[in-house]
Amino acid sequence: MNAYLSAHRASILWFAAMAHRLSGIGLAAFLPLHFLALGLALRGEAALEGFLRWSDMGVVKLAESGLVFLLVVHLLGGLRLLLVENFSWRSGQSKLAAGAAALAGLVAFLFLIRVL
Amino acid sequence: MAGTAHREPARPDLAVSIWRGDAGGAYADYRVPQRANQTVLDIVTFVQREIDPGLSYRFSCRVGMCGSCAMTVNGRPRWTCRTHVSKVAKNGRLTIGPLANLPVIKDLATDMAPFFQKWQAAKGVFSPSKTRHDAIEPIKPSSPERVAADAGVECINCGVCYAACDTVAWNADYLGPAALNRAWTLVNDVRDTGGKERLRAVSAAGGCHACHTHQSCQQHCPATLNPTASIAGLKRATVQAWLKGEIEP
Ligand code: SF4
Ligand code: SF4
Ligand code: FES
């Protein structure tokens, strides 16, 4: 019965809540890959070397900077929620959330420039 | 000006779609003449009086006091008696449906029972510490507790925030912004004795900790309340009570 209700979602803070969830899921999904890389280091130099060469590819670097974005946006979004839930109310939450997303984008972009 | 009949400039009719039937119903289309200073409630009333007397909807005060006229207007929950058509119509079109997140009885009338049941479940009822025979307790309006209670106390129970909240849509047990906002005003009411029981009720599953801090409730509340801030207050109060061992996790 929700088909006619949708315009209420067009808000920065609604997207902030969704971005926080999705970035959390994204980071959780990445963890196994992270452990795989660490595991390869245990198996020996050759295996790790192969993995590191694979991670040298442009598209993988792009994915990595996406990961950096998820990490920073999740971290800053989490800090904003801690602020809301543990201290007295502050207005301007939309600006804080937009700032967090912009900062995460900037950090991810700088990361990409450095690794490329 | 003497002798000049006041005539409104001719405007094209509004194209209005109104939900008809229960949850399995559909939108029906109407053409409604535009007038100056027309509200969305005026539109619905015109359709019922001039086109189809079978249309069901609710209103009472028409001045934003009673909270009974809330509907979904062009995708957003709104109080229709205080919503001007000129502000919300898009290219001369209006789509008016029942409030979301509540069972539809018929047309624009929803069953508000779940909304008020949750109000009860959140212990939104004042538990007095005095009887009518006691002297009236002086309360300082500037005390921090009273300031916090006052910030949320003007709720008109319209259900707009409840309809705008996706956590209500996704979690049938969620008490919702209005009930939790009410609980927060009572937590801050020094005359009330239901404190611990209330904190227990609002920290259970479906309580304040289920809130995602979207602030959709705040953005849509016609009384400009901030249920998100009230819920954040409940989150703090319940965690503090838990740390002190006053309530169980
Ligand atoms: S802030 Fe909480 S109560 Fe308000 S819309 Fe979001 S989930 Fe619902
Ligand atoms: S908090 Fe605001 S939107 Fe929600 S029921 Fe009360 S007046 Fe309506
Ligand atoms: S009719 Fe009373 S608030 Fe709209």
* Secondary structure, 3-state, chain A: CCCCCCHHHCCHHHHHHHHHHHHHHHHHHHHHHHHHHHHHHHHCHHHHHHHHHHCCCHHHHHHHHHHHHHHHHHHHHHHHHHHHHHCCCCCCHHHHHHHHHHHHHHHHHHHHHHHC
Nearest to A89 among B100, B169, B232 (CB): B232
This prediction has a pTM of 0.88
Q: What is the pLDDT of residue B6?
A: 63
Distance CA A95, CA B94 (A): 31
Q: Are A91 and A44 in contact (CB under 8 A)?
A: no
Query: What integer pLDDT is reported at residue A3 of this predicted model?
Result: 43
Ligand 1 centroid to B202 CA: how many Å? Answer: 14
Average model confidence (pLDDT) across chain B: 94
| CA-CA-CA-CA dihedral for A106, A111, A113, A115, to nearest 10 | -170
Please give the structure tokens belonging to residue A102.
């912009």
Average pLDDT score over residue span B95-103? 97
Q: What percent of chain B is modeled with pLDDT above 90?
A: 92
What does the pLDDT read at residue A114?
86
Q: Cβ contacts (< 8 Å) between B229 and chain A: which residues?
A: 89
A1 confidence band (pLDDT: 50, 70, 90) = very low
What is the share, in percent, of chain B residues with pLDDT greater than 70? 96
CB pairs under 8 A between A and B: 66
Judge whether B23 is closer than 8 Å to chain A, CB to CB. yes
CA distance B159 to B104: 13
pLDDT in the model for residue A59: 80
* Dihedral pair phi/psi, residue B109, rounded to 5°: -95, 120
**Distance between CA atoms of residues A22 and A29, nearest Å:** 10
Domain B14-110: homologous superfamily in CATH: Beta-grasp domain (3.10.20.30)
Domain borders along chain B are 14-110, 113-243
According to CATH, the topology of domain B113-243 is: Fumarate Reductase Iron-sulfur Protein; Chain B, domain 2 (1.10.1060)
Q: What does the pLDDT read at residue B170?
A: 94
Residue-level pLDDT at B4: 53
Distance (Å, whole) CA B82 – CA A87: 34
Dump pLDDT digits (tens) for B175-184: 999 999 999 9
Q: How confident is the model at residue A51 (pLDDT cuts 50, 70, 90)?
A: confident
pLDDT of the residue at A8: 78
The predicted structure's pLDDT at residue A2: 42
Which chain B residue shows the shortest CA-CA distance from A93? B215
Ligand 2 atom with the shortest distance to the CA of B221:
3
CATH class of A3-115: mainly alpha
Q: What is the pLDDT of residue B217?
A: 97
Q: Which residue of B has its CA nearest to A88?
A: B233
Q: What is the mean pLDDT of residues B117-132?
A: 95
Tell if the CB–CB gap between A1 and B100 is shorter than 8 Å.
yes
* Predicted pLDDT at A36: 83
- Taking the centre of ligand 3 as the mean of its atom positions, its distance from the CA of residue B166, in whole angstroms, is 24
Q: Note the Cα B46 to chain centre separation in Å.
A: 24
From the list A2, A14, A84, the residue facing B169 with the nearest CB is A2
**Residue predicted with more confidence, B206 or A64:** B206
pLDDT tier at B1 (50, 70, 90 boundaries)? Answer: very low
Chain A: residue whose CA lies nearest to B220: A8
Q: Which two tokens stand for residue A77?
A: 């979004």
Give dist(CA B249, CA B236) in Å, integer: 14
% of chain A exceeding 90 in pLDDT: 44
Question: Do the Cβ atoms of A8 and B235 come within 8 Å?
Answer: no
Q: B236 and A9: CB-CB below 8 Å?
A: no
| pLDDT in the model for residue B99 | 97
Does the model's ipTM exceed the 0.90 cut? no
Q: What is the mean pLDDT of residues B220-246?
A: 96
The distance in angstroms from the start CA to the end CA of chain B is 72
The model's pLDDT over A2-43, given as tens digits with 9 standing for 90+, comes to 445 677 788 899 999 999 999 999 999 888 888 887 887 777
B235 near A CB under 8 A: yes
Write down the pLDDT at residue A9. Answer: 84
How far is it, in rounded angstroms, from Cα A76 to Cα A68?
12
What is the pLDDT, as a whole number, of residue B5?
A: 56
State the smallest CA–CA distance between residue B4 and chain A in angstroms.
44
Residue B169, exposed/middle/buried by CB under 10 A (0-12, 13-18, 19+)? Answer: middle
Query: By alpha-carbon position, which residue is closest to atom 2 of ligand 2?
Result: B221
Greatest mean pLDDT among A48-57, B4-13, B45-54: B45-54
- CA torsion sign for B160, B42, B38, B32 is positive
